[in-house]
Amino acid sequence: MRVYVPLTLSGLAEAYKTGELAAGAVVAYAVTPALREWYLSDDIEELEYAALNRAALASLRLLAGEPGAVRRRVVVAVDVPDRAAVADPDRGLDPVALGEVRVSEPVALSKAAAVHVDADDAGEDVSAAVDALGAADHGDDDAQFIVDGAEDHELLWFATQEIPNLVGLED
C-alpha cells in the first residue's frame, strides 16, 4: 500500500540521518474506504493525489509546531505492507481524518518511492497558511481561504537520491 507521510524539511533531514521516518508509529495518509467515499472517484491516481494533498495539509500542521522550520511542505511516499497501515474505524468519517492511517511498524526511508516538496516560491503562501490554521480550524472562512491558498502550489516530485540536496546535507 502506498502511504504519504507528512514531514518538514528538518524531519526529512532527521529521517535521512537515522534511516527511519519515525521511531514509533507513523501517521500517514492513504487511499482508505472513507477517502474513496468522500472523493467519489474510482481513479486510483486521483485518489492517491487526494491522499497526497491530505498529507500536505498535515505537513502544514507540523510546520505550525516548528516555528523556526523552513516553510515548505514535505510528503514522503512510501510503500508498506497492507497490514501495516490501519485506519481508525472511529474516525473514518471525521473530515479531519479522511485518509489517515497509522503505520505500526518502523518505516525505513529506504522504502520511500519519492519525496514531494514545495518549490521555494511557495514559502510565502505556506507561511501564511501556517499562521491561519488556528483561525481556520475555528471556522474563520477568510483564514480557510488562506490555508487553501497553499494548495495552489503543487508539490514537486523528487527522487529519494535527491534527499541530501533537499535538506542541505552532503552524501
Q: What are the grid coordinates assigned to 30, written together? A: 492513504
169 pLDDT tier (thresholds 50, 70, 90):
low
Give residue 171's pLDDT.
Answer: 41
Pick the more confident residue, 119 or 88.
119
Q: Can you count the helices (H) and strands (E) in the chain?
A: 6, 7
CB atoms within 10 A of CB 18: 12
Non-local CB neighbours of 96 within 8 Å, separated by 6+ positions: none
Which of 107, 118, 4 lies closest to 51, judged by CA?
A: 4
Mean pLDDT, the chain, integer: 89
Whether residue 28 has pLDDT greater than 50: yes
Task: Report residue 92's pLDDT band, with 50, 70 and 90 as the boundaries.
Answer: low
Give the C-alpha separation, 7 to 20, whole Å: 12
Percent of the chain whose predicted confidence (pLDDT) is above 90: 66
Sheet architecture: strand order including 156-158: 85-86, 100-103, 26-29, 2-7, 74-79, 112-117, 156-158
Q: For residue 75, give the nearest of 12, 138, 26, 152 by alpha carbon.
A: 12
CA dihedral 1, 32, 54, 115 (to 10 degrees): 10
- Determine what percent of the chain is predicted with pLDDT higher than 70: 95
Which pLDDT does position 47 carry in this prediction? 93
Residue 115 pLDDT greater than 60, yes or no: yes
pLDDT tens-digit series, residues 31-87: 988 888 888 778 889 999 999 999 999 999 999 999 888 999 999 999 998 888 888
